[in-house]
Amino acid sequence: MPLDLANTSPIGPKAPFADLPSDLDKYLKDIQGNILKSHGRDHSQHLFVQFTDPAKAKKWLVSMAGRVTSASKQWNDSLQRRKIFAEAEKQPNPAAWREAQLAQQASGIFINVLLSKKGYDKLGMPAGQIPQDAAFVRGAQNEETISRLGDPPVTAPAGHDQWEAEFQQDMHALVIVADDSPGKVAEEAERIGNEVGKSGGKIAHREIGTVLRYGENGPVREHFGFVDGVSNPLFYAADVEKVKPVGGIRYDPSAPLGLVLVKDPGGDKETGYGSYFVYRKLEQNVAQFNHDRFVLATAIAQADGREAANEADKELAGAYMVGRFRDGAPVVKFASENGGGEEIPNNFDYETDPNGDKCPFQAHIRKTNPRNETGSPRERDARIIRRAISFERGGKVGLLFLCAQSSIQSQFEFMQKSWCNDPKFLRPEVKPTPTGMDTGLDPVVGQGEAAEQEWPKKHGEDERIKATLKQPVMMKGGEYFFMPSLSFLKKAGA
Write down the domain spans for the chain.
43-240, 284-476
Three-state DSSP at 109 gives coil
**E strand intervals along 126-243:** 173-179, 201-210, 212-213, 220-221
- How would you write the pLDDT of the chain (494 residues) with one tens digit per residue? 679 999 999 999 999 899 999 999 999 999 999 999 999 999 999 999 999 999 999 999 999 999 999 999 999 999 898 888 888 889 999 888 888 888 888 788 999 999 999 999 999 999 999 999 999 999 999 999 999 999 999 999 998 999 999 999 999 999 999 999 999 999 999 999 999 999 999 999 999 999 999 887 789 999 999 999 899 999 999 999 999 887 788 999 999 999 999 999 999 999 999 999 999 999 999 999 999 999 999 999 999 999 999 999 999 999 999 999 999 999 999 888 875 556 789 999 999 999 899 999 999 999 999 998 888 889 999 999 999 999 999 999 999 999 999 999 999 999 999 999 999 998 755 555 556 678 999 999 999 999 999 999 999 998 999 999 999 999 999 999 999 999 999 999 77
> Which residues make Cβ contacts (< 8 Å) with residue 136, sequence separation at least 6?
117, 276, 408, 480, 481, 482
* Residue 136 φ then ψ, to 5°: -60, -40
Query: How far, in Å, CA of 29 to CA of 27, rounded?
Result: 5
Query: How far, in Å, CA of 68 to CA of 486, rounded?
Result: 8
CA distances from 294 to 228, 234, 334, 485 (A): 21, 36, 20, 48
